Homo-oligomer: A and B are copies of this chain.
Amino acid sequence: MQRTRFGDMACSIARTWDVIGEPWSPLILRNVYVGIRRFDQLQASLGISRKVLAERLRWLVEAEVLARREYASRPARYEYTLTQKGTELCDLLLFMVRWGDRWTAGEAGPPVLYRHHACGEISHVEPRCSACGGPMSATDVDVLPGPGAKTGPAPADEPEDQLSVGDSGPTSA
């Protein structure tokens, strides 16, 4: 629906949003992830309009997040499965779950629990640094321009190049 396309921005958040930022998309992914793979199943379990579901599935297949597979041929029947790209999006979903559990679950507790295969514990996902393995949150990093910065149709419109995070000082001066 958003008329502004985010896919062309030089920002990985915007480009990720371009893929799954439409309403229902993450919930569709989640349901495919847990094994709800057929059109009618998805429609019934989500309560989504069939029209919108068809649009989303088409988009997600085009983005190579889902694959459309014929699982029966004579009445042609299709199911949607996760690609590698889509499976890694589910890792992102795990983080959404984590945040939702912490900030929106309330007293009832989390609606769903996750048991880690490797250790068998009920746990949750935590952000760690790929280099040192230590905890890595948004407050633990500096933001620097990378090689893919400023490669778009907009050459030098915005003056901000070096972004410093967390400088809470100067605004009150």
Contact of A117 among B119, B142, B167 (CB under 8 A): B142
Q: A34-B163, A114-B141, A137-B91 are in contact. Are A123 and B119 (CB under 8 A)?
A: no
Q: Which residue of B is nearest A121, CB measured?
A: B131
Chain A residues touching B, range? 35 or more
Report if A12-B124 is in contact (Cβ < 8 Å); known contacts: A47-B4, A115-B144, A148-B111.
no
For A141-158 the 0/1 string (1 means CB < 8 A from B) is 111111111110000001
Binding site for B on A (CB under 8 A): 1-2, 4, 6-7, 10-19, 21, 23-24, 26-27, 30, 33-37, 44-45, 47-48, 71, 79, 81, 85, 87-106, 108-119, 121-151, 158, 160, 163-168, 171-172
